[in-house]
């Protein structure tokens, strides 16, 4: 496998296994994966929730979960056995923890290729018409999942840390030349 | 059995409480803390039989908490079970070397909890 990019099928297998295990074990729910797609940005639904984690190591980037507010409430309800008519702190916390578990197990699975990766605590944002992009404009790989009447997307973006450092160096060099 | 659950996720603390009870563990009092610092404060008043601690937390993480506990004359023998998605061989070994008595990987089932508490009871 290339040292410059990770095979999408390899990532999809790891993400699929992690998401199925977390939803099956913690929520008792079967989810159905769809075909992953690349994308520069992931726009959330009209009123949505985005949960993001930073990944660091020899490869660096982000992982996350993106869904509608309704789906976030459903995830929290299944997880905590309570009804949530709207997104509140408990819903954000539950979505953050689910993201933490899925991305955490995903990055453990791909460790044979990427080496050990560190992971930040999740940041969960709720709002309207959100778009997520990465500095460096590296593409997200988006992994759609459905269950019952709900759908959500896991997403990941990883690039070699050296490539990112080199890009930052080039940007600074370019800025200095143009002063 | 009195239990202290340390995790920055309120959702996870709730789930752990439910799963521990459903797993058939004989539970006395359960208290919760959102990070290592708050756990140490809690331990000034509360005397648990076991601590379940996450690793990746703000302020004071689970490994730092473990070091503080093992460095304390009064708390060093308190069993600590680490619980984390960070379940690489290296991370598990690091936890055990620092004094954790066991390790639970997230996500976890009732069977996982039953097994770990069963081992604890045997010790």
Q: Do B85 and A97 touch (CB under 8 A)?
A: no
Contacts of A119 in chain B (CB under 8 A): 56, 85-86
**Ordered structural domains, chain B, with CATH:** 3-54+64-102 (3.40.50.2300)
Beta strands B30-33 and B3-6, pairing class: parallel
**The two three-digit tokens of residue A18, written as one number:** 């992690």
Beta-bridged to residue A153, according to DSSP, are A66, A144
pLDDT tens track for A42-97: 666 678 999 999 999 999 999 999 999 999 999 999 999 999 999 999 999 999 99
* Backbone angles phi and psi of B37, in degrees to 5: -60, -45
Q: Which ipTM score applies to this complex? A: 0.87
pLDDT tens track for A84-123: 999 999 999 999 999 999 999 999 999 999 999 999 999 9
**Window 18-47 of A, Cβ < 8 Å to B:** 21-22, 25-26
Q: For chain B, say whether A100 makes contact (Cβ under 8 Å).
A: yes
Q: Taking each helix axis as running N to C, give the angle between helix B10-22 and helix A69-80, from 0 to 180 degrees, rounded to the nearest 10.
A: 30
Which candidate in B7, B9, B10, B11 is best for mutational testing of the A interface (most A CBs within 10 A)? B11
Torsion, Cα B35 B36 B41 B45, to 10 degrees, reads 100
Q: Do B107 and A21 touch (CB under 8 A)?
A: yes
- Closest to A145 (Cα-Cα) out of A106, A111, A92: A106
Q: Do A121 and B58 touch (CB under 8 A)?
A: yes
Beta-bridged to residue A143, according to DSSP, are A154
Q: Do B9 and A111 touch (CB under 8 A)?
A: no
- C-alpha A125: how far from chain center: 13
- pTM assigned to the model: 0.88
Cβ neighbours of residue A16 closer than 8 Å, sequence gap 6 or more:
A33, A143
* Backbone angles phi and psi of A14, in degrees to 5: -65, -45
Q: For chain B, say whether A115 makes contact (Cβ under 8 Å).
A: no
- Closest to A67 (Cα-Cα) out of A18, A148, A130: A130
Query: Is A150 strand, coil or helix?
Result: strand
The answer to whether the bond into B118 is cis (omega within 30° of 0) is: no
């Amino acid at each position: 496998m290339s040292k410059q990019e990770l095979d999408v099928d390899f990532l999809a297998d790891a993400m699929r296994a992690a998401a199925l295990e977390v939803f099956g074990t913690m929520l008792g729910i079967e989810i159905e994966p769809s075909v992953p797609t690349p994308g520069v940005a992931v726009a959330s639904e009209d009123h949505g929730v985005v949960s993001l984690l930073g990944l660091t190591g020899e490869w660096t980037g982000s992982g996350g979960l993106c869904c509608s507010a309704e789906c976030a409430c459903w995830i929290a309800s299944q997880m905590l056995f309570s009804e949530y008519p709207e997104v509140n702190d408990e819903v954000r916390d539950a979505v953050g923890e689910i993201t933490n578990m899925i991305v955490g197990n995903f990055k453990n699975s791909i460790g044979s290729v990427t080496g050990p990766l560190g992971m930040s605590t999740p940041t969960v944002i709720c709002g309207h018409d959100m778009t997520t992009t990465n500095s460096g404009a590296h593409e997200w790989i988006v992994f759609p999942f459905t269950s019952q009447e709900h759908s959500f997307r896991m997403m990941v973006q990883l690039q070699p840390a050296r490539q990112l450092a080199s890009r930052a160096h080039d940007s600074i060099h370019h800025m200095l030349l143009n002063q | 059995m009195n239990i202290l659950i340390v995790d920055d996720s309120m959702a996870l603390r709730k789930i752990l409480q439910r799963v521990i009870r459903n797993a058939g563990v004989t539970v006395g009092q359960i208290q919760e803390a959102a990070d290592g610092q708050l756990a140490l404060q809690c331990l000034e008043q509360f005397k648990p039989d076991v601590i379940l601690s996450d690793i990746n937390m703000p302020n004071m993480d689970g490994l730092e908490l473990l070091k503080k506990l093992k460095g304390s004359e009064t708390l060093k023998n308190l069993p600590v079970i680490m619980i984390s998605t960070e379940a690489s061989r290296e991370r598990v070994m690091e936890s055990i070397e620092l004094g954790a008595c066991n390790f639970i990987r997230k996500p976890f089932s009732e069977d996982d909890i039953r097994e770990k508490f069963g081992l604890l009871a045997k010790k």
